[in-house]
Amino acid sequence: HTEYLSKVKKILSLTGTYVFENLKSNAVNITKPEGGFYLFPEFLNAKFSSSSAMCKDILNKTGVALLPGSDFGFPSSKMLARLSFTDFDGSNFLEKTSGSKKLDNEDLKKNAPNMVEGALKLKEWSNSF
């Protein structure tokens, strides 16, 4: 059980760090993940009537689904959203990387392509303002 948890933590750490590194910019305020599988990016240049309207725009333009920060008690005027970085088959990822000592972005691209593509689309969207 301990070995399993260790491997799962490595996968989630890699995915969270990847999304963080690809989104952090002058357009996105984001805190580096320290655990879990959610991030709360704030899209600084996005101007919408609410975080809910912003999330709808993101979904329509990128196909990436986020939950508005207002659903978590943040003011709806703050362009904040909750992003889960778990859009991958965890069992497959674990199986394919089980013998690996250190995971890298190539493992991520092979085993979590939706997550990699989603981070890229969000980055492009955030830079479109």
Q: Give the pLDDT of residue 101.
A: 77
Q: Give the pLDDT of residue 2.
A: 93
Calpha distance 71→83 (Å, rounded)? 12
pLDDT tens sequence across 116-125: 999 999 999 9
For the chain, percent of residues with pLDDT exceeding 90? 94
On average, the pLDDT of the chain sits at 96
50: tokens are 């609410």
Q: Give the pLDDT of residue 70.
A: 98
Residue with token string 């969270």:
16
For residue 33, pLDDT beyond 80: yes
Cβ 41 vs Cβ 30: under 8 Å: yes
Q: Give the pLDDT of residue 99.
A: 83
pLDDT tens sequence across 36-62: 899 999 999 999 999 999 999 999 999
CA dihedral (77, 78, 79, 80) positive or negative: negative
